[in-house]
Amino acid sequence: MSSFACWSLSLLILFYSPGSGEKAFEVYIWSEKQIVEATESWKINCSTSCAAPDVGGLETPTNKIILDEHPQGKWKQFLVSNVSKDTVFLCHFTCSGKQQSDSLNIRVYQPPAQVTLKLQPPRVLVGEDFTIECTVSPVKPLERLTLSLLRGRETLKNQTFGGAETVPQEATATFNSTALKKDGLNFSCQAELDLRPHGGYIIRSISEYQILEVYDLLLRSLQLSLL
C-alpha cells in the first residue's frame, strides 16, 4: 500500500470513527438554477448519503411537485414554481432517528423590460447643449445592470449602479453634450443585466433610436421667416 493510500485510509477512519461527533450522514441540495424569473419553474434535487432514510423532503413556501424519486428514498427531484421574491429552500432527511438538512438561497431577477430614451431639448441650434436621458423599468438585481448611452455605434457612457436592493428599482443614466455640427445625431440606449455571477445569462434590451435635430442659426431664421 502506498503511503498516500495509507494516509487516505487513516483519514477515512478518523472521519467516520464513531462517537467523534461527526455527522453520521450528509444531506445535499442541488438546484438547476441559482437565479430565476418570477414566472419560471425549475428542478431541485434533494439527496442524502444515508442508505435507507426514514423520511425526507423539500421545505418551501412556494408551489412544488415531486417529479422522480429513488426507490429507497435516497433522493427526490422536485419541480418548483411561483417564487415572487428571494427564497431559501431547505432539503431534510431523517436517518436512524437523526435529522440533517442543507439549504440554498434562490434569487429572483426582474429583466429590463422597457428602456426609454429622451433627448432634452429634442432640437437644438449648433453650439447648444442637450441632455440624453435613459430610463429603464424596474430591474433586479440593480448592481448587475449597465446602461449604455450610444451615438450610432459609439458608446458615450456606461453607467453601473451600486447597492443590493431587495425590490426591483427603476434606473436612469444621463449624459450632457453639445451639438457641434449640423449632422443629425442618432442616439439609443442599451440596458444589460449580467446574471452570469449567479449562474444565469446576459439579458439585453435596447430603446428605440432617436434623432437629434440640429439647426444652424441661418436656416432657423429662414424657417421662422417663412412661417
Cell numbers that stand for 50 in this block: 444515508
Residue 131 in the binding site for ligand NAG (CB under 6 A): yes
CB of residue 124 to ligand NAG, shortest distance in Å: 13
# residues contacting ligand NAG (CB under 6 A):
18
Which parts of 8-27 interact with ligand NAG (CB under 6 A)?
none
Under DSSP, the state recorded for 53 is -
Q: Which is nearer to ligand NAG, 35 or 108 (CB)?
A: 108
Binding-site member from 45, 87, 160, 205 for ligand NAG (CB under 6 A)? 45
d(CA 97, CA 215): 82
Binding-site member from 166, 176, 178, 223 for ligand NAG (CB under 6 A)? 176
Q: Which is nearer to ligand NAG, 47 or 94 (CB)?
A: 47
Binding-site member from 17, 96, 99, 158 for ligand NAG (CB under 6 A)? 158
Structural contact between residues 175 and 157, judged by C-beta atoms closer than 8 angstroms: yes
Which residue do the cell numbers 444589460 mark?
192
Interacting residues of 189 by C-beta distance below 8 A, sequence separation 6+: 115, 116, 117, 132, 134, 147, 148, 149, 150, 173, 206, 207
Cell numbers that stand for 135 in this block: 430610463
Residue 41 in the binding site for ligand NAG (CB under 6 A): no
Residue 105 in the binding site for ligand NAG (CB under 6 A): no
Q: Which is nearer to ligand NAG, 69 or 165 (CB)?
A: 69
Structural contact between residues 110 and 140, judged by C-beta atoms closer than 8 angstroms: yes
φ and ψ at residue 15, rounded to 5 degrees: -65, -40
Closest CA to 132 of 83, 179, 174, 78: 174
Cell numbers that stand for 175 in this block: 449624459
Residue 209 in the binding site for ligand NAG (CB under 6 A): yes
Binding-site member from 36, 50, 56, 75 for ligand NAG (CB under 6 A)? 75
CB of residue 186 to ligand NAG, shortest distance in Å: 4
114: Cα separation from own chain's centroid? 16
d(CA 150, CA 148): 6
Which parts of 54-73 interact with ligand NAG (CB under 6 A)?
63, 68
CB of residue 77 to ligand NAG, shortest distance in Å: 4
Under DSSP, the state recorded for 166 is S
Task: Choose one: 13-21, 34-42, 101-109, 155-163; the region binding ligand NAG (CB under 6 A).
Answer: 155-163
| Residues in contact with ligand NAG by the rule CB under 6 A | 45, 47, 63, 68, 75, 77, 82, 84, 131, 148, 155, 157-158, 174, 176, 186, 209, 211
